[in-house]
Amino acid sequence: MTKVLLTGGSSFIGAHILEILLLSVLQLIYNVVLAVRTESKGQEILNAYPKSNELSYVVTGNFSKLGVFDNALQSDPPFDAVIHSASPFHFRSTDHKKDILEPAINGIVGILKAIKQHAPSAKKVVITSSMATVMKPFSAPVKYTAEDWNPVTEEQALSNSGLAYLGSKIFAERSAWEFIKKELPSVGLATINPPAVLGPVIHHLKSLADINTSNAVIADLMQGKWKNGAPLTFTKLWVDVRDVALAYVNALEIPEAVGRRFLLNGGYVTNADYVAIAKKNPLLKDKLPETVDKEEITDPEVDIELAKEILDIKFRSLEESITDTITSLQRFVE
């Protein structure tokens, strides 16, 4: 039995990770302890898995505050591994350092400090990073690789919310590698670096107003917000949430994953693609624009060989991802 602490289990990605851990038919069997912000979130997850005897939760409060994970790792020791999937993704900010940079860095450094102090038995940690950490916004290369690092500086990150988001991912991941090297060399670290994450929603969702940022594109077109014309595509790199979740679990299990950064990418998408696939659903035909201008794909390639070779990820198609997302959200627009 492998005991895992999972943060972000009530989130879009975290819910899929949890499902794999609990319903896995692999040889390993997991006992999962969730770190959740509120009692209600923990209870919602337990209610979703009424037959699971290998699931519990501990309330930690705000993940962005240092020290919040201490109680979680002291709650039911010993822990064998940690999956830190909780990660802020927003651009709303009045104070870029306080609102965006510090929460991201504190969340990752906080979980690693807690492991050092309270989980000496832990041998592996897998954390959420982002494709943003390898992007080069001022001079994009032909291909992004795991050797690349986004060059955005702290000074640049403080200049606007978009660069602050990029900076938060860069500085948080760099802090993790530095902490492991200096403070926790006995723990194997792997990072998961996805672009925009699409796919079906399985976590508790009250309304489309609470949809994750990447899936908001699909929610908008389903509600008819594009009826009179689609906007320009915000981001063209994408990956399915189920492939992301499997990457976390496989990174936990596979020894060769230690010390690796795993770039994930299912391909490229434009808003014309979203509409073309959505039109195959007869329930949406009256909510969609008649035509959408094609956009040129100028984004660099992404080297995903490590994810395919080491983690054995077989990336889903765009049509499967969008179709399944629409199906999972259909109840909100009927």
Is residue 270 within 8 Å of 233, Cβ to Cβ? yes
Residues whose CB falls within 8 Å of the CB of residue 288, separated by 6 or more in sequence, listed in order: 221, 224, 226, 227, 275, 278, 279
Tokens of 64: 């962005």
Q: How far is CA 228 from CA 159, 225, 235, in A?
A: 34, 8, 21
Listed as ranges, residues in the chain with pLDDT below 50 are 27
Q: Quote the CA–CA distance of 202 and 164 in Å, as a whole number.
A: 30
What pTM was estimated for this model as a whole? 0.95
Q: Quote the CA–CA distance of 276 and 149 in Å, as a whole number.
A: 35
Q: Quote the CA–CA distance of 7 and 125 in Å, as a whole number.
A: 11
Per-residue pLDDT at 277: 97
According to DSSP, the β-strands at 237-240 and 301-302 are: unpaired
pLDDT digits 0-9 by tens, 238-294: 999 999 999 999 999 999 999 999 999 999 999 999 999 999 999 998 999 999 998
User: Domain residues of the chain, as ranges?
Assistant: 2-199+238-266+301-315
Per-residue pLDDT at 28: 63
Count other Cβ atoms within 10 Å, centred on residue 53: 7
Based on DSSP, count helices (H) and strands (E) in the chain, helices before strands. Answer: 12, 12
Per-residue pLDDT at 333: 86
Q: How far is CA 232 from the centre of its chain?
A: 24
Closest CA relative to residue 194, chosen from 252, 235, 239 = 239
Homologous superfamily of domain range 2-199+238-266+301-315 = NAD(P)-binding Rossmann-like Domain (3.40.50.720)
